[in-house]
Amino acid sequence: MLWTTRDYVHVDRVACPWLIRRFVDSRAQFVFLPRDQITDFVAKTGAIPFDTGTGIELDHYEENGIKHCTFDAIVRKYKLAEGDPALAELQKVVRAADTSGGLEREPLAWALEVVASGMPLLCKSDHEALNLEFPVYDGFYAFMQRKLVLVSHAEEIKAMESRGERREFLKKLISQLPSKMIK
């Protein structure tokens, strides 16, 4: 599928392509354009627009007084967090990093803001920024999975003597968690 959004990526416009590639379409292609060119591009190509700031389906929205970002819209449309509590936790962090006032509510959101602000300064294109930032989101997702395993297997993990033994145990259990990630 071909997807399009505004150029000059930041938190949501990196998180969404990561989400799309990892959970919706592993071969997705992304085109970054100035906002005023997106409508014509979509009409000519049939690309799926997201995070355009123009009120389309896959954009920011407000529900029950809570501001949601485009990451939320994609998770909702494709029902990605159902049965995947790690993705639901990552969704909260992305929302906090991308919506006003969120950085104060969610400490982990600062990490995404730091990466989203710094990485593009090292890049020549939005695509290069995605390549550098996707591993950060992979790590965040694994961290959320790890948190779940640490809670559910705390006693077993506490009894292990070495970091290596704990890490291998965590990796094994994480691989067994429910996830809609495309393998």
Prediction pTM value: 0.94
Q: Does residue 67 lie in a domain region? A: yes
Residues in Cβ contact with 181 at an 8 Å cutoff, skipping those fewer than 6 apart: 22, 23, 141
Q: Does residue 113 lie in a domain region? A: yes
Q: Does residue 183 lie in a domain region? A: no
- Phi and psi at 107, nearest 5°, equal -55, -35
Q: Does residue 182 lie in a domain region? A: no
Q: Does residue 24 lie in a domain region? A: yes
E strands, 23-107, are 29-33, 48-49, 61-63, 66-68
Q: Does residue 71 lie in a domain region? A: yes
Check residue 120 and report its DSSP letter: G
Q: Does residue 160 lie in a domain region? A: yes
Q: Does residue 130 lie in a domain region? A: yes
Distances in whole angstroms, Cα of residue 80 to Cα of each of 43, 75, 119, 133? 27, 5, 27, 21
Residues in Cβ contact with 37 at an 8 Å cutoff, skipping those fewer than 6 apart: none
d(CA 21, CA 107): 26
Report the 10 Å Cβ neighbour count for 92: 17
Q: Which of 147, 140, 135, 154 is nearest to 174 (CA)?
A: 147
Q: Which residue has the tokens 């730091």?
A: 114
- Phi and psi at 3, nearest 5°, equal -125, 150
Q: Which of 88, 140, 89, 75 is nearest to 113 (CA)?
A: 140
The domain containing residue 20 runs over which residues? 2-175
Contact 14, 137 (CB under 8 A): yes
The structural domain count of the chain equals: 1
* pLDDT digits (tens), the chain, 183 positions: 999 999 999 999 999 999 999 999 999 999 999 999 999 999 999 999 999 988 899 999 999 999 999 999 999 999 999 999 999 999 999 999 999 888 888 999 999 999 999 999 999 999 999 999 999 999 999 999 999 999 999 999 999 999 999 999 999 999 999 899 987
